[in-house]
Amino acid sequence: MKDFVKKLAADYKPLLLTHFHHLHAHPELSFEEYETSAYIKKSLTELGIRVLEEFGGTSVVGLLDSGRPGPTIAFRADIDALPVQEETGLSYGSVTPGVMHACGHDSHTATLLSFAALLAGHPELGKGRVKFIFQCAEEKLPGGAKGLCENGVMDDVDAIYGLHCAAKKPLGEIVANIGPHSACIGVYEVTVHGKGGHGSSPHEAVNPVPVACLLAAAVNQLLAEKANPLEKAVFTVSYIRGGEYPNIIPADVTLGGNLRTFNNALTQTLFEQLKKTCEGICAAYGCTCDVTTIVGYPSTVNTEAETLLVRRAAEDMGYPWKTTEPKLGGEDFSYYLLEKPGSFFDIGMADPEHVEEAAPHHNCRFQLDERGLAIALEMELAVYLKAVEYRQ
């Protein structure tokens, strides 16, 4: 497989870099990827790949039907950029002030477009159907994946795969976990309502400040009481706002923070308990409260068979395979994995001689070693060939 895949992928390297340089130079923010979407549609149409129009928005879904029996395998790339002013000095740097592909979504999109071109150019490789999902707004809640799934993008899919460039991992290192890859993210805010008054007459007011402090302490205790001690999770109070002057008791105080866990059910449990706890403490001290909770992306949980398939593909291609501690960051690839089996994996794209100096994701100096894009293309092809074989 190794020589076969490398030879095929090498033929598409010029196209891969053309896509990458164009996309990097023309970044667009989440839910505003109009030109990017048009570029993807034009590229797919020129390849003879059908663009599915039923999903709308700035996401683009392409379908390549081989005409032969086989599974439907999906691959996903995210297409949005970040509100960051680029400072890389690259010849193909962003031409849009204050917007930059500082997380590598341009590399994901360029790779998937090139993979689509490769399969369209080699119909003998195809069995069943391939669905190319170019998803908007990974960086901004509620994310693009949620809407696509609600509109049925996964209904006919047998398995899905996605990759993410890793700017702080050595070139060619393939990283994935069976089970949790990233965390479920939730945010909350509690507004405590008391009765304002003069600082000299606290008995004539209902001071929400000490009540908010009690709530903050109680939130820190919830995780210890409701989560399995062996689970990794954080439940943070990040801010308390209320009051401005020493002689004025404010009427309202607001506090809030975030929750991160690999257990999607635990998120709901903790948020339900948060509401009960806040309402109970406030009532005990003569206050009321409004509790707002938002569940962001669920935990991304890779299935075993599909992740082992990615591992075999990496090993066949001669790339080192590693597992890692799951990240408490969020990723809306999770929505696809709630629907069907699949795997989300990282590909190291740092110059191996300068890994420590590499800028992290979301940094204004974020930059990838372009050799990593060819590796990503090889991996998508290798994973596809193994996925078709596995699903036959």
Q: Which active-site residues does the annotation give?
A: 297, 370
Tell me how far apart the alpha carbons of residues 130 and 62 are, in angstroms, rounded to a whole number: 8
Please return the burial class of 284, using the count of CB atoms within 10 Å of its CB with bins 0-12, 13-18 and 19+: exposed
Strand order in the sheet with 342-350: 50-52, 60-65, 129-135, 72-78, 159-170, 342-350, 174-175, 321-322
Which string of b and e fits 115-150 if b means at least 16 CB within 10 Å?
bbbbbbeeeebbbbbbbbbbbbbbbbeebbbbbbbe
Which H/E stretch holds residue 226? helix 208-226
Tell me how far apart the alpha carbons of residues 257 and 208 are, in angstroms, rounded to a whole number: 18
CA dihedral of residues 321, 324, 327, 330 (deg, nearest 10):
20
Tell me how far apart the alpha carbons of residues 101 and 114 are, in angstroms, rounded to a whole number: 18
| Neighbour tally for 18: CB within 10 Å | 13
Tell me which residue of 37, 33, 31 sits closest to 61, measured CA to CA: 37
Output 3-6 pairs: Cβ under 8 A, ≥24 positions apart.
Answer: 5/317, 5/378, 5/381, 5/382, 5/385, 6/317, 6/378
Q: DSSP string spanning 209-224?
A: HHHHHHHHHHHHHHHH
| Neighbour tally for 323: CB within 10 Å | 12
Tell me how far apart the alpha carbons of residues 126 and 64 are, in angstroms, rounded to a whole number: 9
Residue matched to tokens 């635990």: 266
- At residue 131, φ and ψ (nearest 5 deg) are -110, 120
Q: CA-based Rg of the chain, rounded to a whole angstrom?
A: 24
Tell me how far apart the alpha carbons of residues 171 and 173 are, in angstroms, rounded to a whole number: 6
